[in-house]
Amino acid sequence: MATKESVMTSRPLMQELFASGLYKRNQGRMVRQITCVTIWLVAVVAAWRCHTLFLSPWMEGSAASYLAAAALGGLGVWFGYRLVNWPKFADFLISVEAELNKVSWPTQKELVRASIVVIFTILFLSAILFAYDALWKFVFGLLGIA
């Protein structure tokens, strides 16, 4: 865990974007990789949508529109890579992984049993709500309200 002084003296995000080092390389690795890949997917999809919605009609399918979309996607990929190495965000992701390691995950048998309980509870409650709705519809029909 980073001390308050090290977090307070860390570089701002804009300076971190142009750095090349990795922060705490082997800590919080799984969460950082998943976060980075997620940001990359968002960047690539955003670049593709930007190309199809704005660049392609404006540039009429020229190579420049593809180049601009690729540059936009590349910037997003670089941003995601540098963001997960920014000390403030990386320390947060490291602590997230530490908390995930403390979780007591259920076995498959417990998961199936709990899922069956939830499904039957939902079905039972929906049947009760349907019965109440039908009852009130019948009562209001007798009273001439509905």
Calculate the dihedral angle through the C-alpha atoms of 52, 57, 59, 62, rounding to the nearest 10 degrees.
60
pLDDT at residue number 53: 82
DSSP string, 69-121: HHHHHHHHHHHHHHHTTSHHHHHHHHHHHHHHHH--PPPHHHHHHHHHHHHHH
The conformational region for residue 139 under phi > 0 = left, psi -120 to 50 = alpha, else beta, is alpha
Contact between 86 and 93 (Cβ < 8 Å): no
The conformational region for residue 129 under phi > 0 = left, psi -120 to 50 = alpha, else beta, is alpha
Which of the four pLDDT bands, split at 50, 70 and 90, describes residue 9? low
In this structure, the number of other CB atoms found within 10 A of the CB of residue 38 comes to 12
pLDDT at residue number 68: 83
Structure confidence by residue, pLDDT tens digits, 91-123: 999 999 999 999 998 999 999 999 999 999 999
Structure confidence by residue, pLDDT tens digits, 17-36: 777 777 888 888 899 999 99
Around 4, how many Cα atoms within 13 Å sit in the side-chain half-sphere?
0
DSSP class of 53: I
User: Model-level pTM greater than 0.75?
Assistant: no
Does pLDDT of 7 surpass 70? no
Contact between 77 and 36 (Cβ < 8 Å): no
Which of the four pLDDT bands, split at 50, 70 and 90, describes residue 65? confident
pLDDT at residue number 51: 81
The amino acid sitting at 39 is I
